[in-house]
Structure 1
Amino acid sequence: MTDSQRRQRILALTPWERLAEHWERLGIRPGYRCVRGPEVGMAMVRGRMGGTGRAFNLGEMTLTRASVQLTDEVVPDAPLGHGWVKGRHARHAELIALVDACAQRGDWAVAIDEGLVAPLDAALAVERDAHGRQAAATRVDFFTLVRGE
């Protein structure tokens, strides 16, 4: 998984309020314009039986996408960023696209990875661990049950 893919995954999984709060704290305020969207559409979700079987169409999910271009660049090929998020949250997709565009600038990339992506990834890991412990607490080990004969 590339840095860009990892960043996109973390930003899409992070709740909007937390992402916006961390972005504000980072202090990067570029000018930008929306090139595409935000647009709400549908995406086909595919599944596999047992994780390894043949792929099948599970159903559709709502998806919002956006593309932005930085406008405070003096070069003709200003960075273009893209963002996708499940659901219908247009501002979330637009902010992900903005972060993606800003991360393409060398002077902002390190600040974004260390000051935004790393803390959000750590918060997601804590939540994942808490959900895992909660699910593990409800686990039933059927091999410990004794049949009465």
Structure 2
Amino acid sequence: MMNKKEISTLGMVKSGVYQRLSQDPSLNAVINGVFDNVDEKTPYPYIVLGAMTGSPWGSKTSAGQEVTLTIHTWSDYPGDEEILIKIHPLILEAISREPIDVGSGLSVMLARLEMEETLESPDGMTRQGIIRFRFRIMEV
């Protein structure tokens, strides 16, 4: 019996999403950057690429992976308007405009919104938006 090939695409998905969001002119007109890690001096609003999960997903002939990526948006605007009306729609548009580049030999077969929420931070002054996407990546 032959073992099925397994692949990891988390790094490629994160890199592809980072490139897409950090180079989107409409999104960058309303935020101060897209980050993997941010320090306390970073001015609001901004985006942080967060937790990821990956699980095997494939066919009889090609390996693949289903990946989730959580994107955090941070704002000091009073209320949720900046996150929900300005930033999240631009993230959705950027992700869904065309397939994310995940490198040669791989293709994004699915990119969909899995969940979206906002939270008021304990400091009472900042808001966090959370938006999670699910991607299905396959070898081509």
What is the TM-score when the length of structure 1 is the normalising length? Answer: 0.29
Greater Rg over alpha carbons, structure: 1
Q: Which has the higher strand share?
A: 2
What is the TM-score when the length of structure 2 is the normalising length? Answer: 0.30
Q: Which has the higher helix share?
A: 1
